[in-house]
Copies of this chain bind each other. A is one copy, B any other.
């Protein structure tokens, strides 16, 4: 098992531990293309789980799925200046079709605002066409110069991008917050990862947005990870793409827009936050296999008895919509299977041998606490549901405690630097909110503004860095 299992400890070599877990659990593999991975079946199954949950919610809120072209003509991408400047350095360009040079370069979408909004300007005529609320599940390419890491930062990734147009600023604002809350619910209540919500600074907002809101969280190595963003685009793109509607007042107005997205990066966060020295630990709501059953017998004559008992349990749980795998492979020992499914982070393992059959019970092993309990057969289903909830809560609480422990309030630059170097994590300060100050802090310390929490009273006192009056409390960190 030593080759198959994880050979380093999470708290000793986090980067190596992460890579081993991703590769050895079968989530992904490195592809022979700059910064790209293959989403293997186990990793893609988690993405499908996330998609199902989120897609349903997006549709309930009245958004419709669509699909726009992968390729964006350079002239379109250039239309909103700030947007183009922000994305140009990481665009992959198509310059040839067959053996012909194309007249105009085509960008592989780094995001779809420009190609979509060109069409919106044709579709939207009147206030009756608003709100326009669409969503797209697709692949995205950003030619990464920074070092890449499976799921967390890859040249190509998968995501959903929602795009909406509204009559008023306020309606767009409401949409921005509604979707941010949908993301919070997904991340906290399904992925069991706590987040801080708030606005991004000027330096960190989406290129072309009026403002960006985001979910931010901490990884166990103390680096921050952005988990999702929801942008108020104002009328910036509407003016660049001439998206106007005849209002209820009989006059033409530019629409107010939003866009928002989460990506396959979420899978990386789940690995980093919940995993342990044995491998993955998956929250029950997104685990592709929620329960694995390992039959245990030593004599051929016991096989049938054990397998029948196990099959009945599988059948019962499946009828109740739990995803169960009965691992009846004969070429592997129970111990080997234990290790494999622990590596793959299956939330519950049922161990079934002659003893369990005779006593009409089941041995249940929870992956999060690595503990066994002995459950009566006819109470199994309820116990499984209860354990799923408890596992979710345990994972969430553990992650919350970690995040809280790594969140430090400081008053001076000296403390700020010390925390960043030793303890890492979020450093919370009173801050002036100015772009020049933000740039200087980044240059001097490597830390960026991760998020400026919502609903805060303006702080008294001065900016920890530049000494100008403080205008907000801000979370800084080094980030992925």
Contacts and interface: CB of A to CB of B under 8 A. Distances in A.
Contact of A139 (B92, B105, B139, B143): B139
B97 A34 contact: yes
Contacts of A29: 119, 122-123
Contacts of A34: 97
Interface stretch (A83-91, A213-221, A278-286): A83-91
Interface stretch (A39-47, A179-187, A413-421): A39-47
Contacts of A96: 92-93, 95, 105
* Most chain B Cβ neighbours within 10 Å, of A32, A45, A76, A119: A32
A124 to B, nearest CB: 13
B66 A44 contact: yes
Given A32-B76, A70-B156, A88 B98 contact: yes
Interface string A87-114: 0111111111111000001101000000
A64 interface: yes
A36 B92 contact: no
Contact of A94 (B67, B68, B92, B158): B92
A38 interface: yes
A72 interface: yes
A48 B71 CA distance: 22
A138 B44 CA distance: 13
A372 interface: no
A149 to B, nearest CB: 16
B68 A38 contact: yes
Contacts of A66: 38-41, 44
A115 B31 contact: yes
Interface of chain A, main secondary structure: mixed
Q: Give the size range of A's interface with the partner.
A: 35 or more
A118 interface: yes
A33 interface: yes
A97 B87 CA distance: 11
Contacts of A71: 33, 36, 92, 141, 155-156
B119 A69 contact: no
A65 interface: yes
A370 interface: no
B38 A69 contact: yes
A5 interface: no
Contacts of A115: 31-33
A183 to B, nearest CB: 22
A181 to B, nearest CB: 24
Interface in A145-160: 145, 155-156, 158
Given A31-B115, A89-B98, A98-B143, 5 more contacts: A31-B69, A33-B73, A38-B66, A91-B97, A92-B94
11 contacts: A29-B123, A31-B119, A33-B106, A39-B67, A45-B64, A47-B67, A70-B139, A71-B155, A89-B99, A91-B98, A92-B94
What 6 A-B pairs come out closest when comparing CB atoms?
A97-B143, A41-B64, A39-B67, A93-B96, A36-B69, A95-B95
